[in-house]
Structure formats: C-alpha cells, structure tokens
Chain A
C-alpha cells in the first residue's frame, strides 16, 4: 500500500467521522455536517435566528450530502480492494468542501446581517476546519498525478459554492427585509385574561411573567382608565389597578374609528403583542405595555 493510498484512507475516515461532529455552534445548538441532509440546519436557523429556509422547494436537494459519508466509506472499501478510488474520493471531498463553505458562509451572513455574534469565528468549531482539510486531502490523493484536474476541481467547487451562496443569500435577504408585520386581527391570542389578573401576575413575579408573555399575543379585558388619541391616528388605551400599576396598549392606526367611540369606564377587550413590564421610577409603579393592539369585536 502506497503512502498516497494511506493518506486517502485516513482522509476518507476523517471525512466520514467529522461529518457527524460539531461544525458550528449557533447559540446553544451544535450543528454537525449531517444536520443539512437531515433537515436540521434550517430548523435550527429558524429556532435560533428566526431565519427560515427561503427556498423550501429545494430542501430535498440537500439530501445529496448523505453521499459524503457513503462515498468516504466507498473510498476505504475500494482502497482495501485495491480498486480505483478516484470517483468516490472526488465526490466525498468536493461535496464536503462545499458543505463546509455553506456552513461558514451562512453563519457569517447571520453575523453580518443580524449581528447574532461578535464574529463568525466565535461560532465555528474545530471539526469544520478538520473536515475541510480532509476534504481537500481526499481530492488531492484521489489519483496519482492529474494535479491540474484535482486542483481545478477544488478551486471550481470553492468558486461555485461562494458565487451560488451569494446569489441565493441576496435573494433571501431581499425577501426577509421586505417583510412587514401583519395585523393580529385574525391571529388567535396565546392567552386570554383580565387586566387585573394580568397585573397581579406581573407584580407577583415579574421575571417569570415577562418570560411567559413577552412577544405573545394577549387578549386582555378591563375597564378603560384612559383613552388618548394622538394626532397621527394612533391612540393608547389604558387599564389600571388600585395601586397605580397599569397596562397600556398602543393601538394600530386601523383602529382609530373604533377607538373614538371608547370612553373612560367602558369595559373592553383588547388584543395586543405584549412588550412586558417595566418599573417606572417616575411613577413609582409597574407598567405593562403592548404594541400593534386592536379592539376585539364586541
């Protein structure tokens, strides 16, 4: 067995093993190479960064990356049988190289666009780079000679992945930043409760309650303590308890005609997105604020 073949076997084994070891760390989620074909890559992106696969119709194509461990095993088997390892080595190496680049570029774009971390290097794990080195080694030892072909394949793969990624991510970025919040008119409330009960819950344990309700849609009923229309068609409605703590709702512009008919003392139900509580030093009381609120149909 020549040294080249030994390196091939070692590189292929490393490729196959590191495929299943952590490549990147997104917050508390470690993702290995198999996350992409297993469909866990975009699931984690959605959970950790709120970024969904912009083109779900091509998800099935990611299954091609299962060929990495399969082809890497093929290299080992072929080498032991003294057969030509060129194709399995090239397939495993180039696919893996391209996958490594995708993980790196995607993580970097999260840092650049969303500021999810100080730098992409804080998110990468050593196995990402070990896999990249093994991938290049697998291609370069796939055959004797043919250096131009082998180096060419590596460079073309890198270039194609980077160019392809940039094209897709430009489209995806456009799509994400064109989104706007839609009205919660037809959104089912996560919680439905009275203003008094809600304020009590915040006053009893603000940390846990903030966690429970933050950014959730709440349907809150109460007696109106104040209605304040503003010049720009927006308005606020507030409910109070006996201690001076209050809930305040920023009403959507669309609600202006209905808000006009609301008076202090009316009992109403308002649906809004909860922004949690703050303790006001100025007022010496707790306030719970809501955004994008609408009046519930009576």
Chain B
C-alpha cells in the first residue's frame, strides 16, 4: 500500500517537474548589449555604467535594492543601528561561497572597505566612506558579523553598504589597480565569469551554488555595440536580446516588447549664480516661466519624458509635489524681467557634443527665450572640455549657463550638488549658497527615519525651487526593447528590467 502511494507520489512529482521544466530553456543564453567600452570589472574601481552592468551579476553587496528602491538583505541577512546612529551591525549569511569555492566571511567585507579607503588605490568611492574628513571604521566581530563605526550618524551609508564585495583570499597584498583580477573577476553573484575579449564581449555563466538559488539562465553574453543604429538592427534581427532605444526609433518592432519607464534622472539648464547676469532671482524665474516644457519634450523627445519642476525624480520616495512650479507663462516672464530692470539679456549656454537631444533642446530654448526678448547663444563643447569649464577650481567660473543632467543615486541625499561647501571644487558648480538648504542637507544626512527625512527633503525642494537656480527641464523616460523570447523580467522602473537577474529566462 505504502509502496503504491510512494510510487504514485513519485510519478506525480516527476510529471509536475516535467511540466514546470517546460517553460524555460535550461540552456538559455541571454545576449545583452553594452553601449561603450568596459573599463574594469571591479565595483570599487569602475565608474562607468557599462562595467557596472557586468559587475551587477558577478558581485553582490551587503544589501541590494528592490523594485521600490528599498534596501533589502543580500550578503547581510539583517542589520541593526545603535541608538546613537553611529554603529551599524551587519549579520552575514553563512551559506555563501566565492565562485572559486572558498567561503565568504566578514574578513572579505572588511578587506573590501579598507581597500577602498586605502589612499594608494585609485577608488573614487573612497569619499563615500569618509564623513566630514573622518573615515568609517570597519570591525570584524566574528566570521559572520561585521560592524561599521561611523564618525557621526549618516543615513546615506546604506547606499555605500551596497558596494560589491571583493575576495580577500585572492586580492590581499596585490596592487588592485593593475591586477589581472579586473579582467578575470571572482565574486559572490549569481553568475560566474567565463571570458573577456577586449573591446568585444564578456561571457558569464550560471553559478549553480549561488546562495539566492541557481539562476534560470545558463549564460549571459554582454556584447559591446558602440553604435546605437547597429544595436537596433541587431535587436530586430535577434542577434541581441535587449537594448536601449532612442526616442525617434521607439515604435513597434516584430518579436520585441517595448518598455517605457521612469528613472532617477533629470535634465536641466543651470545658471552660473556668480555671474551678474543671473544674480537676480527674478531673472532666473523669468527664464523658467519662459520655457514651454510640453513643446520642448514633444519636439525633442517625441513626448517620451515628463516635465520637471523639482530636483527630485517622481520615482524617489523623497519626491514632493509641493514646490514652486514655473509653468509656462511668457507674460509673467516678461513682467518679471521688467521688474528686475532687465531690458536686454544675452548669454551663452554650453551643451556637450554627443547628446543630440540636448543640442536640439538648446535650439528650441533659444527660440522660446527669444519670445521674451532674451538672446541665448549656443556653444557645443566636447564632453571633457565642458567638464573642465564647469569643474574649474576658480570663481567665478567661465560659463553663463549649461544644459546638462543628473543621474541621482538611490538615496535622495544631494549634498554634493546643493551644499555651499561644494563650490568651487565640487558638483555645486553653479555656486548655490543657501544656509537654510545647507542646514536641511545636514539634517537629512543625520536623521534615520524615512518619514523624518522625507519632510526635510520636501522643505528643501521647496526652498531650492523658490530660488530657481536651475531651469528644471524634463525627467527622461528610459526606453528599452527586449525580445519576446525573454521572460522573467522585473517590473519596469528605476531599477531596470533585469533587477532580479536570477529570475530571467529564455522561453522555449
């Protein structure tokens, strides 16, 4: 009797697994496209999105983000913050092994962060682990527990805790910047490194022992395709499975699913606040009122963007709608200029070569400003040359205005963009100086609880928009196409379609 029962269970189970196994191809290879050259496959050294796409599947960090931009456990299964807000204790998973079979421990975590803090290593991320000049100290409590002791409470620290962890047993004592490891990485992620052909592709394969469960895909091929037209042709022909699509090409393609979603980005026109032309807030507000964002987005991006009125993307939890919105009103613009006593205003805006959208936007803004009697000249500069101008360590800087964008991180802290100390060396290249905003920025970093921080940032955005230091232009939509043979994609949003890469599969 029991034998029959067991046998029937066995038959049912095998039938069931057969049915479940049918939906995806266990030999499936996903082909992703990369738009530029890879620098190094090392999360503490690279700064380009191309390399980080690959690092995202090979390495993992203490925490990661979910589709709602909340931090959830990854290598750390839980964490606590002390009452003072200064000591963060992370309890690590015990079932993690490196791709070479060695066990993962707290020593690896300490090693990674100490390496970032090492002045001799060329990691630009070092500044993320230094608060007001004091470094964060990492202490190994036991094999699976690590403490981070901050010089003072700092909420954005969790973002820094998502940094990919490097293996101590491989890298200890080696010179990291020139190490071969950067081309043959070993990590804790769902995919293992297989092959890297310089300038051409990177191949990774499934790690069946991954702690989060073996991924459904057998392999991922990251192919470098520098030209966007080529990528589009390759998507159409099925030689690649996904790519970003420029607005002009965003229409139905056979066998391809199109996705349009928001991200943590915004494009703006920034004023040099130290220039006498823009020192009067009424002039800046006038120019903000003069912009017809709907027309701009329609002409430049085929409508595939949202008008922006605040320095925070609507998908961030800190977003607040209660800001000063300068909605299109040319009459008001003219009145403000008159009030400020400005009869003739002429200035030059810098745009980087290589962004057709920004160049087009400049010409349309030129026309829109002309309607209120302002003459804007356009100067297109090569990217590095433009950066040199706006990052120059002098005051006043040699520009009037610039059209550029920000890609903000998961944490809404934007200290480096708005704090008065970040000028002239820093990302506050417009020279914004508002003590109230400075205080709010400091408070936002200090407070632990999201609800408190949200209030702080809402007040800050209101204050910033009142001063109109930028003309906020648009929040671009991310446009992507994925072949319909690919399943298991994550919900479209700021974390992208491939957030849960272990769930992605190729349909049979």
Are A and B genuine complex partners? Answer: no
**A-contacting residues of B (Cβ < 8 Å)?**
none
